[in-house]
Amino acid sequence: EVQLVESGGGLVQPGGSLRLSCAASGFTFSTYWMHWVRQAPGKGLVWVSRIYSDESSTNYADSVKGRFIISRDNTKNTLYLQMNSLRDEDTAVYYCARVQNSGWPLDAFDIWGPGTMVTVSS
């Protein structure tokens, strides 16, 4: 079964750091662009970041640029999001998502993880 499962969320103080993980299974992880999307409580979906299969290309939303780092370990079939200098407004459920087609940079998201909650609060 094709599956994504996030972990690493929790409560962190403003200015703190957290690393999210997304474990992939059931498909050839190393060939897919992967994304992070977040959703603040009661709000809509917001794209956060993406990474190419070999890590040679990454992109970020302006709101997280310079604070978040996306990475992956294809030997462990795992996607990461290192979140630094966290702010109250980063509070959200964070989802990892896979694009539909292997190797396609611009594509819809056909597989999503269940999400992990990040709460930034003092």
Partner 1 sequence: DIQMTQSPSSLSESIGDRVTITCRASQGISNSLAWYQQKPGKAPKLVLYAASRLESGVPSRFSGSGSGTDYTLTISSLQPEDFATYYCQQYYTIPFTFGPGTKVHIK
What residues line the site for partner 1 (CB under 8 A)?
35, 44-47, 50, 59, 61-62, 95, 100, 106-110, 112-115
Q: Which residue's CB is nearer to partner 1, number 1 or number 62? A: 62
- Nearest distance from C-beta of residue 47 to partner 1, angstroms: 4
- Nearest distance from C-beta of residue 15 to partner 1, angstroms: 25
Q: Which residue's CB is nearer to partner 1, number 3 or number 13? A: 3
Q: What is the number of alpha carbons within 13 Å of residue 71 lying toward its C-beta?
A: 9
Q: How far apart are CA 31 and CA 111, in angstroms?
A: 14
Q: What is the number of alpha carbons within 13 Å of residue 122 lying toward its C-beta?
A: 3
Q: Which residue's CB is nearer to partner 1, number 39 or number 74? A: 39
- Nearest distance from C-beta of residue 29 to partner 1, angstroms: 18
CA 39 to chain centre: 12
**Angle ∠(115,17,3) on CA atoms, nearest 5:** 25
